[in-house]
Amino acid sequence: MAVLVILLGCEKYWEEHYGTQPETVNENVWDAIQRQSELSTFVHYMKEFSYDTLFLTNDSYTLFIPDNDAFEVLLDTGEVTLSILDYHISQHFIQSGSIQGTRKVQTLAEKFAVFEHTANSSLFDGIPLQFESPLYLNGKYFTMDRVAEPKPNLYEFFEVHNPVLKDYIDEQDSIVLDKEKSRPKGFDSLGNTIYDTVSTIYNKFEAEYFPVSKEFRNKTATIVFPLKDDYEAALTEMAEKLGGSFIDYNDIPLEWQYDVLIPHLLEHGVFENQMEEYEFMFRPGKDSIKLKNILGDSIVVTYAPTGKALCSNGYAYNYADFTVPDSLYIGSSRFEGEWLLKTTGLGKYTWKEEVIVKSDLPFEVKKEYIPTASNDSVMNIAFTKGYTGKYSLEFKTETMFPGLYHMVVRTHMDVGGIYDIYVNDVLVLEDFDYYDYVVNRGIYWSCEGGRFLPEGRFNRFDACNVAIEDFGRVKIRFEYKGPGQVAGNGLVIDYIEFTPEAKK
């Protein structure tokens, strides 16, 4: 008897819910929607935005339609936009019975909504779907009691919550040749292909890290980056530490943020996939963890992310307590000598475009690989023996903040001469003679009173109280005065290091 009651109940339930609705209906889905009085607000806005014309073609659509009460709630605090309508329409036919679990659905907004189906219910972005229509000639529809609002992608999120990152990403745009669309039309006199050029925009950030402005079905990222108020508060704190003309965040140069701060934050804050907060938790007794960033590098994380925001292509986190690391602007700044060179062939080098060389004779510059050098290599220029002509080398280091610095040059005892050295056109060392190393048996006295001991055949010399008046790249010039008594005349630079006098 129990089995009979269950079977009869199931048959009655089936007839009530499905017997009155055929699987397919020979009718335009838009005509069926317009007959539903509880969907009249949706119909009104579809006509207002001329979206009723979608159903004049042979294309099929699946519509997720909020009822009138849902729109009333939305209109209390916001407005109905075209992007909201787009987000409730998909150009794909979606049959809930053929979906088990969760699937991303692409909408007319070119964003992906989440459709979830279990044995008992269907959800659209977590909102229960109350009714599923049969299949009409050109689609079907579901109804829901809330309006689903499209989620921003990571680019759109930071465009609102910290435009400095959005602007930094935009700055990485370059126009490059689109070889797939461009067509070769001949050759120049050197045999190089000439293209009927079609250009495209290449964004270095999106190519290196993650395409934050695009939507994907299966690819996501996590970005930890301070929101605008926290970012500016940290820059103000930094300005107060710098003192002088630095008052608040407005005084921190954008060039430094782009060159130093933002790349540091991205290196330590962009990860593949959607990472949950517990993945950033420190182990007991530890104040940092090691994670692999999206570039595949192992980095040390010393912060705690907070305020997770779900975006259409990943997670965005704020910092629980953001400060600018002192090491980025107070610590030493080291410039490697080989950074002045570019490769022209196997074992062949020349100066980068911004380097200025003035010489009576042309001399070859080399990049020598030496295991004991600071970065395994040095810049080396060898003059002819006893050269008495003119030679001047001028270049700029990375950006630095104003202040007094202790400048140290690491060089080689076997190659040198007599030099004047200028920083921002101010003479900081006059008639410096490399032979002093030999006279003093490889020991050089520092301007601070200590001694620079030899490190193999390397040694160092320095200048104290080197004044940097303004923020920017520091101009350094080595001027050759004449040959010394060292084994070979020329110039070797391993590195040049600036350390703030008050902070060393």
Residue 443 identity: I
pLDDT-wise least confident of 227-236, 437-446, 451-460: 437-446
Q: How far is CA 182 from CA 196, 201, 292, in A?
A: 6, 14, 38
Strands 451-452 and 444-445: antiparallel
For residue 441, pLDDT over 80 is answered with no
Kindly provide the residue ranges of all beta strands, DSSP E only, lying in 172-236, ordered along the sequence: 173-177, 183-187, 193-196, 199-203, 221-224
Q: What's the rounded Cα separation, in Å, for the pair 329 and 260? A: 9
For residue 395, pLDDT over 50 is answered with yes
**Per-residue DSSP letters for 8-34?**
HHHHHHHIIIIITS-SB-SS-HHHHHH
Q: Where in the chain is the domain with CATH 2.30.180.10?
A: 15-144
How confident is the model at residue 109, as a pLDDT?
83
Residue 404 identity: L
Name the class of domain 333-500: mainly beta
How confident is the model at residue 147, as a pLDDT?
96
Residue owning tokens 């008992």:
120
Interval 244-300: pLDDT, tens:
889 999 999 999 999 999 999 999 999 999 999 999 998 888 889 999 999 999 999
Tell me the mean pLDDT in the region 299-312. Answer: 94
**Mean of the per-residue pLDDT values of the chain:** 89
For residue 5, pLDDT over 70 is answered with no
Q: Choose between 176 and 144: higher pLDDT.
A: 144
Q: At 440, is the pLDDT very low, low, confident or very high (cuts 50, 70, 90)?
A: confident
Q: Are the C-beta atoms of 127 and 148 separated by less than 8 Å?
A: yes
Q: What's the rounded Cα separation, in Å, for the pair 461 and 470? A: 25
For residue 14, pLDDT over 70 is answered with no
pLDDT-wise least confident of 182-191, 439-448, 474-483: 182-191
For residue 199, pLDDT over 70 is answered with no
How confident is the model at residue 92, as a pLDDT?
87
Widest pairwise Cα distance in the chain: 116
For residue 504, pLDDT over 60 is answered with no
For residue 192, pLDDT over 90 is answered with no
Q: What's the rounded Cα separation, in Å, for the pair 162 and 233? A: 13
How confident is the model at residue 20, as a pLDDT?
41
User: CB within 8 A of 354, min separation 6: which ones?
Assistant: 395, 396
Q: What's the rounded Cα separation, in Å, for the pair 90 and 253? A: 46
Tell me the mean pLDDT in the region 143-161. Answer: 95
How confident is the model at residue 182, as a pLDDT?
57
Q: What's the rounded Cα separation, in Å, for the pair 270 and 428? A: 42
Query: Structure tokens of 160?
Result: 């609102």
Q: Are the C-beta atoms of 301 and 288 separated by less than 8 Å?
A: yes
How confident is the model at residue 166, as a pLDDT?
96
pLDDT-wise least confident of 7-16, 64-73, 92-101, 357-366: 7-16
Q: What's the rounded Cα separation, in Å, for the pair 251 and 496? A: 27
User: CB within 8 A of 496, min separation 6: which ones?
Assistant: 334, 335, 337, 397, 407, 408, 409, 410, 476
Tell me the mean pLDDT in the region 176-184. Answer: 61
For residue 12, pLDDT over 80 is answered with no
Taking the CA atoms of residue 239, residue 244, residue 245 and residue 248 in that order, the dihedral angle to the nearest 10 degrees is 20
User: CB within 8 A of 133, min separation 6: which ones?
Assistant: 21, 29, 32, 140, 141, 142
Q: What's the rounded Cα separation, in Å, for the pair 264 and 258? A: 10
Q: Where in the chain is the domain with CATH 2.60.120.260?
A: 333-500
How confident is the model at residue 196, as a pLDDT?
63
Q: At 118, is the pLDDT very low, low, confident or very high (cuts 50, 70, 90)?
A: confident
Q: Choose between 8 and 154: higher pLDDT.
A: 154
Q: What share of the chain is helix, strand, coil (3-state, %, to 5)?
A: 25, 35, 35
CATH placement of domain 15-144? 2.30.180.10
Q: At 503, is the pLDDT very low, low, confident or very high (cuts 50, 70, 90)?
A: low
Q: What's the rounded Cα separation, in Å, for the pair 84 and 49? A: 11
Burial of 361: CB neighbours in 10 Å, binned 0-12, 13-18, 19+: exposed
Q: What's the rounded Cα separation, in Å, for the pair 304 and 364? A: 51
pLDDT-wise least confident of 100-109, 284-293, 475-484, 495-504: 495-504
User: CB within 8 A of 175, min separation 6: which ones?
Assistant: 199, 200, 201, 202
Strands 418-423 and 391-400: unpaired
Percentage of residues of the chain with pLDDT beyond 70: 90
